[in-house]
C-alpha cells in the first residue's frame, strides 16, 4: 500500500481556526451545566508560618454561600505523598492544597469559598479575615547562595539529566588560555502568563462520576492526579480539554484549582467551577531566578580550550525542580577541559515549573554571550568563531548528531540578515542618531519522541476520525495531525478529523518538551497504517476480490477509495468496505513507539541561528529590537504556517526575556509585587518589528519515519543572547543581567 504526501509540508490554515474566532471553541471555564456552583480561592498573604484562625462568619452568613473549605474541614484525601505525584512532578513531596495550617509560600491557596454564583463567592472571599502565626521567611536567592546543593534525583531526572563529570584540568586550562571570557549572569523570575487563566469545571454526575473540563497540557495527567488523590477509579474520572488558551509549560502539572474544584464537587455532590484570576496566575510555577557564572578560554585562533559553566537556581523547600541549564555548553562546543555544575537553593517559594525551553533559555544566554565575548577578543567574526568550534558530535555523550544543518542556518540566516555587511567594531554603526548593533547566537533543543497511542476510525460515511488524548495548546496539533492522517490514508483533508483532549481517547503523554509532533504524529501514523491493513483485509473479503494476487505495494489509497495502482477502473470505495463489515465503522488502535535501537546511537537535537539588530538610544537606555532573522533546522516541517507562528511566538518571548519580563519579589514580604499584566511587562505590538523565520531543509531518518523533530522550544532559545550580543555591538557594553531594563543601558 502506498500514498503520497499531499498535505505534509503545506502551509494550511488551522483546522480549528474558524471555531476559535467564532467562539465555538470552548475553554475549561466556558462549560456550563445546570445548578453549577462557583468557588473562589483565597491565598495566603504571608510567606511562612501557619494559620491561627480564619474569621469567616460574615462570609458564611450570606445567602447563597454554601461552604468554605479549609485545612480544618477538607475532605479526606490520599495519605501517601506519592499519590499527589503527577507526571511532571520533580523529586520531593508535592504541594498538597489545604493539607494543614502550615504556610510554605506567599500566595499559597488556603481556602475555597463556594457560592451559587461567581460574584457572591468573590465577595464572600473578600470578607474573610485570617490570623497567622508568622515565621521568618527566606526568598532571596542572592543572599542564600551558601545553601546551594546538588539536586535530588527522581523520576523526572530521566528526562532531565544532570551535568556530566568534569573533564581535564579546568583551572589550569583557563589560566593558560590566550583569550579568556567570563561573566556572572543573573536572570529574574518569570511567569508563564498564558492568555487563558487556569480553570476547572467539574461536572458531578450520579454515583460520583466526574467529568472535568480542565485547563491542562495533558488530560491523562489530570485524570491520574484526581483518581489518585481522591481515591477514585480511573473510569469514574473523565477529563476533557479540547482547547487551551496558551500554557507554555504551566499546564504540565495539575494546578490547585483542579484539586479544589474536585474536592468541593465531591463534598457538596454538586457541579463546581473554579477559575483563577490573573493575580493567582503568579501563585504557582515559574521560570526560576538563576545565577550563572561562565569562564571560557580559547587560543588565539579561536579554538576553545576550556568551558566552565555553573548555575544556581531557586526551588521550593518541598520539591527539587531542575532543568537542563549547563549541559548545552558542551553539547554545542567541544573542549578538552570542561566543568559544568548545577545547584539549587531551596527557599520559601512555590516550586518552579517548566517554562518554554526550560533551562535552554536560561543556559544559552550565558553560553552564547561568553562565546561572543571570546570571538570579539580574538577578532574573529562570531559566526566564524562558531564554525571553528563546530562539531557534528555531542561532546557529552560522544554520539553523532542524527542531523545538524546548523551550518546551513548560518548561511541562509546570515545572507537574509546581511551579516557580511557588518562592521565588527562596537559603536561603529549609527542610524537616526542612535547606535545600531548586530548580534547573533545559536540555539539548540532536544528532539525527543515518547510512546503514545492513537485510534483511527473509518466511518460508514467514508470519513476518518483519528483521536488521541494529547493537547493543542495553540501550537497546531489539530492541524498537523489532520495533515499526517490525511496523507497516510491518501484522503482529502476535508474528510479527516482529528480529536484530542479527552481521557476516553487513547493514551498520550503531556504536551511539552517539543515532543508532541513526533510522539503523536507517529501514533497517528501507526493507527492509520493499522487501519489500512484492516481495510485491505476487509476489501479482500468482498467478492469478487479485485486485489487477489496483487502485491500490497500496488494497492493504493486514493481519496475515497482503495485501488490498484495504474488501474483506474479497479477500485472499491471506502464506504463500501465499511458497509461490507455490517458494522458502523472500522477501527484501529495502535501505539507509536520510538525506534530506540536506532535512536540511541545518536544525539537528536534541533538547531537555530538567530541574527538580531538593535537600535539604542544611549541617553535613555532604550533598546529597540528592529529586526530578527531566525534560521531553524528542525527536521521536516509539517506545516510551515503553524510552524512559523510558533517560532514567531518564541522570538517575541525572546525579546520579552531579554528586555522586559520579570516577576518582582519584595523579599520583606516574600511576595511578587507586579502580579498583573500592566506591571509584568510582556512585549506589546509596538515592541515588535521585523521578524523573519527561515526553515532550513533537514533530512533525518533517525529521529522517526516522518522526520519530525519538534519546534516548540527552538524558536526562543537563541533570541535573548542574540539581542544581548547586538546590544554589545551597538554600545560596547556587556550587560549580563536579564531583563535588560533601561537603567542598565544608560551610559
Partner 1 sequence: MNPFVYTTVEKVDEATSLLSKNLNAKIIAGGTNLIDLMKENISKPDEIIDVNRIPGLDQIKELENGCIRLGALARNADTAYHPIIAKRYPLLSRAILAGASAQLRNMASNGGNLLQRTRCYYFYDTATPCNKRVPGSGCSAIGGYNRIHAILGASEDCIAVFPSDMCVALAALDATINISGSAGERSVAFADFHRLPGDTPHLDNNLQQDEMITSIDLPVNGFENNYAYLKLRDRTSYAFALVSVASAFEIEGSIIKEARLALGGLAHKPWRNKDAEDILTNKEASVENFSAAADLILKDAKAYDRNAFKIELARRAIVRNCLNAANLHSNPI
Binding footprint of partner 1 on the chain (CB under 8 A): 45, 106, 119, 122-123, 126, 432-434, 617, 619-622, 624, 660, 664, 666, 668-669, 671, 673-676, 678-679, 681, 683-687, 741-743, 746
The Cβ-side half-sphere exposure at 527, using a 13 Å CA radius, reads: 33
CB of 674 to partner 1, least distance (A): 6
CB of 732 to partner 1, least distance (A): 19
Q: Which residue's C-alpha cell is 483485509? A: 537
Give CA–CA dist 247/677, Å, rounded: 16
Nearest-approach distance from CB 269 to partner 1, in angstroms: 28
Q: Based on CB atoms, which residue is closest to partner 1, 125 or 252?
A: 125
Minimum CB–partner distance for residue 145 and partner 1 (Å): 21
Please list the residues that pair with 53 across neighbouring strands: 131
Strand partners of residue 132 = 51
- State which residue, 126 or 161, has the beta carbon closest to partner 1: 126
Nearer residue to partner 1 within complex by CB, 193 or 482:
193
* Smallest distance from partner 1 to CB 42, Å: 11
Is the Cβ of residue 597 or residue 686 nearer to partner 1 in the bound state?
Answer: 686
| Spatial contact of 159 and 513, defined as CB atoms under 8 Å apart | yes
Looking at residue 525, the DSSP 8-state letter turns out to be H
Q: Which is nearer to partner 1, 188 or 366 (CB)?
A: 188
Smallest gap, in angstroms, from Cβ of residue 414 to partner 1?
28
Q: Which stretches of 127-193 are DSSP H helices?
A: 170-176
What is the distance between the alpha carbons of residues 132 and 155, in angstroms, rounded to a whole number? 36
Pairing of strands 179-187, 199-205: unpaired
Residue 52 or 150: the one with the smaller Cβ distance to partner 1 is: 52
Chain CA centroid to CA 334, Å: 28
Write phi, then psi, for 125 (nearest 5 degrees).
-60, -35
DSSP, collapsed to helix, strand or coil, labels residue 425 as coil
CB 612 to partner 1: min, Å: 17
Which of 603, 623 has the CB closer to partner 1? 623
Minimum CB distance to partner 1, residue 73 (Å): 24
**Joined grid coordinates for residue 736:** 549580563
Among 519, 444, 387, 368, which residue's Cα sits nearest to residue 716? Answer: 444
Residue 706 CB, nearest approach to partner 1 (Å):
40
Residue 428 or 674 having the CB closest to partner 1: 674
Q: Which residues contact 450 (CB under 8 A, 6 or more apart)?
A: 509, 515, 519, 594
- The 272-275 sheet, strands edge to edge: 65-69, 109-115, 37-43, 272-275, 199-205, 209-214, 237-240
Helix (H, G, I), strand (E, B) or coil at 636: coil
Q: CB of residue 747 vs partner 1: minimum separation in angstroms?
A: 10
Buried b (16+ CB within 10 A) or exposed e, 74-83: beebeeeeeb
Quote the least distance from Cβ 186 to partner 1, whole Å.
Answer: 15
Nearer to partner 1, 158 or 686 (CB): 686
Report the residue number, 52 or 668, with the smaller CB distance to partner 1.
Answer: 668
Helix 360-377, helix 719-731: angle, nearest 10: 30
Closer by beta carbon to partner 1, 106 or else 271:
106
The dihedrals phi and psi of 430, each to the nearest 5 degrees, come to -135, 155
Residue 405, C-alpha cell as written in the block: 544543518
**What's the rounded Cα separation, in Å, for the pair 304 and 738?**
26
Amino acid at each position: 500500500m502506498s500514498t503520497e504526501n499531499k498535505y505534509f509540508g503545506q502551509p494550511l490554515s488551522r483546522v480549528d481556526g474558524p471555531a476559535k474566532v467564532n467562539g465555538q471553541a470552548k475553554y475549561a471555564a466556558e462549560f456550563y451545566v445546570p445548578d453549577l456552583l462557583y468557588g473562589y480561592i483565597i491565598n495566603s498573604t504571608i510567606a511562612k508560618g501557619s494559620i491561627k484562625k480564619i474569621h469567616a462568619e460574615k462570609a458564611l452568613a450570606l445567602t447563597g454561600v454554601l461552604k468554605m473549605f479549609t485545612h480544618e474541614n477538607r475532605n479526606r484525601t490520599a495519605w501517601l505523598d506519592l499519590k499527589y505525584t503527577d507526571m511532571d512532578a520533580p523529586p520531593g513531596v508535592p504541594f498538597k492544597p489545604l493539607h494543614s495550617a502550615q504556610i510554605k509560600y506567599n500566595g499559597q491557596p488556603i481556602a475555597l469559598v463556594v457560592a451559587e454564583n461567581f460574584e457572591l463567592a468573590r465577595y464572600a472571599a473578600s470578607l474573610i479575615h485570617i490570623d497567622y502565626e508568622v515565621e521568618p521567611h527566606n526568598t532571596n536567592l542572592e543572599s542564600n547562595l551558601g545553601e546551594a546543593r546538588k539536586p535530588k534525583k527522581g523520576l523526572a531526572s530521566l528526562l532531565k539529566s544532570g551535568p556530566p563529570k568534569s573533564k581535564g584540568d579546568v583551572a589550569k586550562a583557563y589560566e593558560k588560555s590566550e583569550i579568556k571570557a567570563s561573566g556572572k549572569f543573573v536572570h529574574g523570575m518569570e511567569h508563564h502568563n498564558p492568555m487563558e487563566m487556569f480553570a476547572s469545571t467539574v461536572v458531578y454526575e450520579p454515583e460520583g462520576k466526574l467529568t472535568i473540563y480542565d485547563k491542562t497540557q495533558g488530560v491523562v495527567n489530570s485524570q491520574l492526579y484526581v483518581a489518585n488523590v481522591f481515591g477514585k477509579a480511573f473510569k469514574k474520572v473523565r477529563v476533557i480539554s479540547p482547547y487551551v488558551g496558551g500554557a507554555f509549560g504551566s499546564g504540565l502539572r495539575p494546578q490547585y484549582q483542579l484539586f479544589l474544584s474536585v474536592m468541593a464537587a465531591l463534598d457538596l455532590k454538586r457541579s463546581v467551577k473554579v477559575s483563577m484570576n490573573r493575580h493567582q496566575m503568579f501563585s504557582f510555577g515559574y521560570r526560576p531566578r538563576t545565577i550563572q557564572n561562565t569562564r571560557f578560554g580559547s587560543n588565539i585562533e579561536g579554538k576553545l580550550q576550556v568551558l566552565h559553566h555553573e548555575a544556581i537556581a531557586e526551588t521550593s523547600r518541598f520539591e527539587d525542580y531542575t532543568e537542563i541549564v549547563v549541559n548545552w555548553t558542551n553539547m554545542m562546543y567541544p573542549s578538552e577541559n570542561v566543568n559544568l555544575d548545577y545547584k539549587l537553593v531551596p527557599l520559601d517559594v512555590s516550586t518552579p515549573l517548566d517554562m518554554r525551553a526550560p533551562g535552554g533559555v536560561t543556559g544559552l544566554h550565558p553560553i552564547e554571550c561568553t562565546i561572543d565575548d571570546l570571538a570579539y577578543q580574538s577578532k574573529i567574526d562570531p559566526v566564524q568563531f562558531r564554525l571553528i568550534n563546530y562539531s557534528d558530535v555531542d561532546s557529552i555523550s560522544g554520539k553523532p548528531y542524527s542531523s545538524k544543518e546548523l551550518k546551513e542556518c548560518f548561511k541562509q540566516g546570515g545572507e537574509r540578515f546581511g551579516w557580511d555587511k557588518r562592521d565588527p567594531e562596537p559603536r561603529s554603526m549609527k542610524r537616526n542618531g542612535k547606535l545600531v548593533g548586530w548580534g547573533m547566537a545559536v540555539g539548540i533543543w532536544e528532539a525527543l519522541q515518547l510512546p503514545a497511542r492513537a485510534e483511527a476510525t473509518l466511518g460508514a460515511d467514508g470519513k476518518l476520525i483519528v483521536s488521541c488524548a494529547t493537547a493543542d495548546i495553540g501550537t497546531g496539533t489539530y492541524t498537523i495531525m489532520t495533515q499526517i492522517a490525511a496523507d497516510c490514508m491518501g484522503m482529502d483533508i476535508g474528510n479527516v478529523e482529528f480529536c484530542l483532549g479527552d481521557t476516553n481517547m487513547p493514551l498520550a503523554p503531556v504536551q511539552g518538551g517539543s515532543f508532541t509532533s513526533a510522539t503523536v504524529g507517529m501514533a497517528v501514523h501507526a493507527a492509520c497504517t493499522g487501519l489500512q491493513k484492516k481495510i485491505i483485509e476487509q476489501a479482500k473479503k468482498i467478492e469478487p476480490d479485485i486485489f487477489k494476487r496483487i502485491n500490497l505495494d500496488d494497492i493504493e489509497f486514493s481519496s475515497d477509495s482503495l485501488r490498484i495502482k495504474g488501474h483506474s477502473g479497479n477500485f472499491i470505495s471506502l464506504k463500501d468496505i465499511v458497509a461490507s463489515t455490517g458494522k458502523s465503522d472500522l477501527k484501529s488502535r495502535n501505539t507509536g513507539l520510538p525506534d530506540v535501537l536506532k535512536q540511541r546511537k545518536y544525539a537528536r537535537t534541533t538547531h537555530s541561528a538567530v541574527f538580531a539588530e538593535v537600535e539604542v538610544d544611549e541617553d535613555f537606555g532604550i533598546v529597540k529590537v528592529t529586526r530578527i532573522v531566525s534560521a531553524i533546522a528542525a527536521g521536516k516541517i509539517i506545516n510551515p504556517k503553524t510552524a512559523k507562528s510558533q517560532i514567531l511566538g518564541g522570538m517575541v518571548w525572546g525579546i520579552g526575556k531579554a528586555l522586559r519580563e520579570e516577576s518582582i519579589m519584595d523579599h520583606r514580604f516574600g511576595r511578587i509585587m507586579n502580579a498583573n499584566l500592566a506591571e509584568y511587562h510582556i512585549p506589546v505590538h509596538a515592541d515588535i518589528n521585523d521578524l523573519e523565520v527561515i526553515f532550513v531543509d533537514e533530512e533525518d531518518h533517525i529521529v522517526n519515519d516522518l522526520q519530525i523533530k519538534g519546534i516548540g522550544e527552538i524558536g526562543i532559545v537563541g533570541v535573548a543572547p542574540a539581542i544581548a550580543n547586538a546590544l554589545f555591538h551597538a554600545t560596547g557594553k556587556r550587560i549580563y543581567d536579564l531583563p535588560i531594563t533601561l537603567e542598565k543601558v544608560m551610559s
